[in-house]
Structure 1
Amino acid sequence: MKSQAMILPSKIHRSLVGGCLALAVVLISPHHSLAAPKTAVATNDFLNSIGVVSTFPDRGQPLARTIEMVRYCGFRWVRAGIEGLSDEGPTTIQTFLDLHRETGARLNWGLVSGGTDVKKLVETGRVLAEAGALLAFEGNNEPNNWGVTYQGESGGGTASWMAVAKLQRDLYQAVKSDPVLAKYPVWSISEPGAQRDNVGLQFLTIPPDAQTRMPDGTKYADYANLHNYIYHSHSPYPADNKTWHAADPTAASRVDGLFGNFGVTWGRGFQGYTQEQLNTLPRVTTETGVAIGGSVTEQMHGLNLMSMYLAQFKRGYAYTSVYLLRDRTDEDGNQSFGFFKPDYSPRKAAIYLHNLTTILADKGTLAKPGQLDFTIEDQPETVHELLLQHSDGTFQLIVWDERLSGQDHVTVQFGDTRASVTTYDPTLGVEPVQTLSNVRSLEITLSDHPIVIALSPSMQ
């Protein structure tokens, strides 16, 4: 990784990095705006978005090992629910309370596959909420694959989805009518695009004149919920911008994305939100990921998963959960998705994410993020940026590339001189790659992973 600052002859700070001499120079010139300054997002907001799907003791994964893995990667939330939960165990509500106590991770709490027990969901969710362990509620997992029987009516799959719709409506009402739980968001079912009849699950609240089988005004959710896996039958091979395209909210996305579930449903073409509405629709992803195999190496798997969290957050997903924490040993076909191998050893994905969350680490709060005046000159279409601000005021500019091969050489120009700029490469470790003084612009060489640029206050 080569990185160096642009030059003007004045005070020079030299740093030798990977055999490359890096130069930074004071530019004696007044402040000028390059463009409209960009407002940062609190670093903690991005870190809070990073979640994972996991198994638990009822599927043979001891809690103590789960705690170790969640801590190592820095996951802030875990997808969970009432499936497999019992009073006798081995997975009990105390399992999740202990997970939260030991890691700080919160739980999104769902009916999971085929579940219909809203009363149990609410009662156990209240226990989590009172312990500060609850993030959100989630509707059914993929009713196209796991149908439901609710109040004597079967639905989902290739049958009518009325039972699914009534269940989700009742879940929403139960949460919002509970004085303890009303403040928590409800996430929609996953795969509403598979509806066989138009019960309106492509909406969070059915709008007037929607011509759906459920009444106008029916409330289902506060957030749209996707399973936008980056490899899909319409996009089966590695490519540039793989995770960026999977997070695309438009019809251009070739995976199982936002448009096909909440715009025009992919199963029967039912009309949902307009593109303008989709652009700002509150959304989360409770499953995405990639399996190692074929052309996807462990290295590519690791790079994909790291870029995935960045792309998702940048493109409007408040929370993203990757499948899977550790390879499942009790289910065929799911033996190579994990951040960790069956023996609990970390794959590169775990190591890279550990490094990224360690570099960004922030448990403080930032009431009002500031603005940074910067631009990336001649920015290639595979290069993306995310501007964060740490609670101590430091800006953390993440610039990443999603190239299968080759490199991009880009220059980051700042609107004023920065007293200190420190760069990090999470594929190498958690220590700085280089520190430069008095920087007005920075040249970086990018290929297939992010670089974190930490910026001190300006010198003006």
Structure 2
Amino acid sequence: MSADRFVDGIAVNTHINYTDGAYANVKNVRDDLVWLGVRHVRDASPGASAPMSSYAYLAVSDIKFDFLVRSEIAHSLAQIKAVETASRGSVDAVEGFNEINNWPVTYDGLKGDAAGLAAQRAIYAFVRGDPSLAGIPVYDLTGYNVSSVTTRFGSADYANQHVYPQNGEQPGYNANGDAWIKMGIRGVERFDLPLVITEFGYFSLPQSGWYQIGVDEESQAKGILNGLFDAAASGVSRMYLYELLDEKADPRGVDAGMHYGLFTFENRAKPAAFALHNLTSMLKANGGTALNRLEGEAWRYTLTDLPPSGRSLLLRKSDGALELVLWNEVPFWDHTSGKPLNSPSATVFVDLGSMAARVNLYDPMRGIAPLQTQRNVQQVRVDVPDHPILLDVVFPN
């Protein structure tokens, strides 16, 4: 895929209505998003606590919203319409109820899944029937029993899932068979709709044990980078990281929900934020034109000794440079000790198919400058770590 399309598929959750914590400073929210290179956010439809001017302020910076509909459907849709009317093009999507398995809903005399599914049909009909919203896609609700539903026709344009890797595991591959993103996709693939993952993340509160446990900040960064590439390689249209900021202070470290942010409550950028900033910066055009002679051809490259845990994805930047992304989903967290694991890198040999004029090696965990540059090479040896590295390949004209 194009690098621009990949970057456009990166999104993040915000909570502009939470005016009693970090999100009260909407300037920080705006500045953080611009610095990350992320233009798509997911948030609840505007409520009473945050003024409409907060959303307009973000929209001016080309921030676009997936708005969750609240239980007061009519008022919620009216607020979404108001944002779109005030700032045309600022509403990316309208999304049904959030995790009705955790937050039960009622609608039109119904309860549980029946209520959520009926409300979703009503939301879809409203959006499709309103001239100011008619072209905006509708994301499905989350938290209903997908096994009992055969179609989303007349209810959603995109299937929708939440994915939170458990036990400090990698998002796409684990030797025990856990493949969290694939499991999420499998649940809704029979609907034959494009898919969004509207929540994905790790909380940075190191823990030991089983099920939903936290990791350190470095491991959080690795898991988020891997998850973004796993999602793109699996055909996910957009993935919303959870979340931009740690919502409130938690100095005693007792509330896991206050540690999902890419930035701390004080707005310090965690390693995940630095890595994401580095990644989006790397994938921008460099201002020139590479004019690869393989521009219109299928690039045939070969990977040797890539282990089962290894992954690859090919991107093309708008300046013509080719980006071969390699990552190795070996364990990075020891759930017994609650400490990071330093699994060895995999030595992989890359045959580029023909002589490359230049190959730069980048690691978004370490900065935006190339760690290594080779010229006039066809074969490259690469040590692939437990997170993505990028080979920027330019062939002669």
| Residue 51 of structure 2: aligned partner | 92
| Residue 161 of structure 2: aligned partner | 226
Q: Distance in 2 between matches of 1:132 and 1:319?
A: 17
Cα shift at 1:406: 1.7
Greater helix content? 2
| Residue 238 of structure 1: aligned partner | 169
| Residue 185 of structure 1: aligned partner | 137
Matched AA of 2:47:
L
Q: Deviations over 1:165-217 (max 9, x none)?
A: 2211111111122333222211100122278xx4x3x6322xxxxxxxxxxxx
Equivalent residue in structure 1 for 2:366, among 401, 423, 428: 428
| Residue 281 of structure 2: aligned partner | 358
Q: Deviations over 1:377-427 (max 9, x none)?
A: 132111111111111111111111122212200011112211111111111
| Residue 286 of structure 1: aligned partner | 198
User: Which structure would you say has the larger RCO, counting Cα contacts within 8 Å and 6 or more residues apart?
Assistant: 1
Cα shift at 1:445: 0.3
Q: Deviations over 1:56-110 (max 9, x none)?
A: 254332110111221222222100231x523xxx5233322211322x2211122
Q: Deviations over 1:202-236 (max 9, x none)?
A: 6322xxxxxxxxxxxxx1101110011111xxxx2
Q: Distance in 1 between matches of 2:130 and 2:297?
A: 37
Cα shift at 1:304: 0.6
Q: Distance in 1 between matches of 2:373 and 2:44?
A: 45
| Residue 414 of structure 1: aligned partner | 352
| Mapping 1:13-162, distance limit 5 Å | 41-56=1-16, 58-60=18-20, 61=23, 62-82=25-45, 84-86=46-48, 90-102=49-61, 104-112=62-70, 114-117=71-74, 119-120=77-78, 123-124=81-82, 126-127=84-85, 130-151=87-108, 153-156=109-112, 161-162=113-114
Matched AA of 2:133:
L
Q: Distance in 2 between matches of 1:163 and 1:150?
A: 5
Cα pair distance change 1:350/1:55, threshold 3 Å? same
The answer on 1:377 being equivalent to 2:304 is yes
Cα shift at 1:46: 0.5
CA contact (8 A) 2:17 2:47 kept: no
CA contact (8 A) 1:224 1:282 kept: yes
Cα shift at 1:363: 11
Cα shift at 1:150: 2.6
| Mapping 1:256-405, distance limit 5 Å | 257-260=184-187, 262=188, 273=190, 281-292=193-204, 293-295=206-208, 296-329=215-248, 332-362=255-285, 371-404=298-331, 405=343
Matched AA of 2:107:
Y
**Number of residues paired by the alignment?**
362
Q: Distance in 1 between matches of 2:271 and 2:241?
A: 15
Matched AA of 1:146:
W
CA contact (8 A) 2:162 2:198 kept: yes
Stretch of structure 1 that moved more, 181-190 or 329-338: 329-338
Cα shift at 1:362: 4.8
Cα pair distance change 1:247/1:452, threshold 3 Å? same
Q: Distance in 2 between matches of 1:56 and 1:369?
A: 44
Q: Deviations over 1:351-377 (max 9, x none)?
A: 11111111112599x9x9863211211
Larger Rg: 1
**Which secondary structure does the structure 2 equivalent of 1:247 belong to?**
helix
Matched AA of 1:155:
K
- For structure 1, the 5+ residue unaligned runs are 1-40, 206-218, 264-272
Q: Distance in 2 between matches of 1:362 and 1:96?
A: 29
When the two structures are superposed, what TM-score results if normalisation uses the length of structure 1? 0.73
Q: Distance in 2 between matches of 1:333 and 1:298?
A: 13
Q: Distance in 2 between matches of 1:419 and 1:362?
A: 18
Cα pair distance change 1:134/1:369, threshold 3 Å? farther
Q: Distance in 1 between matches of 2:197 and 2:172?
A: 18
Cα shift at 1:122: 5.1
The answer on 1:204 being equivalent to 2:116 is no
CA contact (8 A) 1:240 1:403 kept: no
Cα pair distance change 1:119/1:425, threshold 3 Å? closer
Q: Distance in 2 between matches of 1:154 and 1:353?
A: 43
**Which secondary structure does the structure 2 equivalent of 1:317 belong to?**
coil
Q: Distance in 1 between matches of 2:41 and 2:315?
A: 23
Matched AA of 1:204:
R
Cα shift at 1:125: 5.3
Cα pair distance change 1:120/1:289, threshold 3 Å? same
% identical equivalent positions: 27
Task: Give the alignment's Cα RMSD to 1 decimal.
Answer: 2.7
Cα pair distance change 1:56/1:142, threshold 3 Å? same
When the two structures are superposed, what TM-score results if normalisation uses the length of structure 2? 0.83
CA contact (8 A) 1:416 1:458 kept: no
